[in-house]
Amino acid sequence: MLTADEQRVLDALLPCRRVGCDGAIPLVSLRFARALIEYRLRTDSAFMLPGTCPECAAECAFTYSDVINRIPSHLRPAALPADRFWALMLIAGPEIASGESGFVGDRALIERVQDFGDAWTGYLRSVSAFTPTLPAGAIVCGKRFGTFPVCTGFQGATAIERLPLVCPTKADSATFYATPDAPDDLKLAQPMCSNPSCPHFFGMNYSQFCALLDSQRDIEWFWGGIPHVVLDCQRCGTSTVIDKETYATLFHL
């Protein structure tokens, strides 16, 4: 989790670019600006974030480098090392009315040992709330269900054993669903933090996202003509832009 000092750094307003001015762009924090620029660069490689300074009236424009260089390196989004990946620790949940099987789980960090395509083995490098008695360093194994590696067992004294799964009272978790005709293809129902090194799930399903857009229809959520919201990760500090395209590959609840 973020410290208070880290929170203040990320929530600092974007400073005016005019030399000698101590003003700042209203309502635009460093992490908010980074997320917006990253989002717009997907469709416009020359995009610069505009902003007007209320102190000197300067019209400013910010590149991704202008913003990311103001964020300390340990608070920037970062790729995982090549030998690391996130795997799900899942427990079964109830089926929903349309027949899909439900699951709940969090993500645990794995150091890859072997990869067999649909199956893998590795060392557990973070403790999961769903397997709290399984220590970091344990040898675990699993399979891929769609795009998600799922942990299915661990190396016991003499053989592979079932995971010691529990239903936690508090966890950074999400819900997943599989249809009867594709039981090995898991679909996530809530978006993940855009920082590859962070296991956080944003707890907003598609219906909640649409309701939020509708409630904010008169203000700035439609910046750039595309309905969206910006969510802050309280775990790593990264802000992520969420729009309808985010949910294109997710399960709609």
Domain end marker among 75, 99, 125: 75
Domain count, the chain: 3
Identify whether residues 112 and 53 lie together within a single domain. no
Question: What range defines the domain where residue 249 resides?
Answer: 190-253
Identify whether residues 137 and 63 lie together within a single domain. no
Identify whether residues 154 and 90 lie together within a single domain. yes
Q: Which pLDDT tens digit goes with each residue over 156-205?
A: 989 999 999 999 999 999 999 998 888 899 999 999 999 999 999 999 99
Per-residue tokens: 121: 């083995």
Identify whether residues 200 and 174 lie together within a single domain. no
Identify whether residues 166 and 227 lie together within a single domain. no
Q: Which pLDDT tens digit goes with each residue over 210-241?
A: 998 887 765 454 455 678 899 999 899 999 99
CA–CA–CA angle 85, 91, 96 (5° rounding) = 115
Identify whether residues 183 and 218 lie together within a single domain. no
Instruction: Please write down the HEC assignment for all residues of the chain.
Output: CCCHHHHHHHHCEEECCCCCCCCEEEEEEHHHHHHHHHHHHCCCCCCCEEEECCCCCCEEEECHHHHHCCCCHHHCCCCCCCCEEEEEEEEECCCCCCCCEEEEEEEEEEEEEEECCCEEEEEECCCCCCCCCCCCCCEEEEEEECCEEEEEEEECCCCEEECCCCCCCCCCCEEEEEECCEEEEEEECCCECCCCCCCCECCCCHHHHHHHHHHCCCCHHHHHHCCEEEEECCCCCCEEEEEHHHHCCCCCC
CA–CA distance, 142 with 247 (Å, rounded to integer): 26
Q: Which pLDDT tens digit goes with each residue over 41-88?
A: 999 999 999 999 999 999 999 999 999 999 999 999 999 999 999 999
Q: Model confidence at 94, in pLDDT bands (50, 70, 90)?
A: confident
Identify whether residues 95 and 179 lie together within a single domain. yes
Identify whether residues 166 and 108 lie together within a single domain. yes
Identify whether residues 142 and 182 lie together within a single domain. yes
Question: Does this model's pTM top 0.85?
Answer: yes
Identify whether residues 26 and 114 lie together within a single domain. no
Identify whether residues 169 and 253 lie together within a single domain. no
Query: How many residues are given for the chain?
Result: 253
Domain end marker among 75, 104, 122: 75
Domain end marker among 75, 96, 125: 75
Q: Which pLDDT tens digit goes with each residue over 129-166?
A: 999 999 999 999 999 999 999 999 999 989 999 999 99
Identify whether residues 29 and 94 lie together within a single domain. no
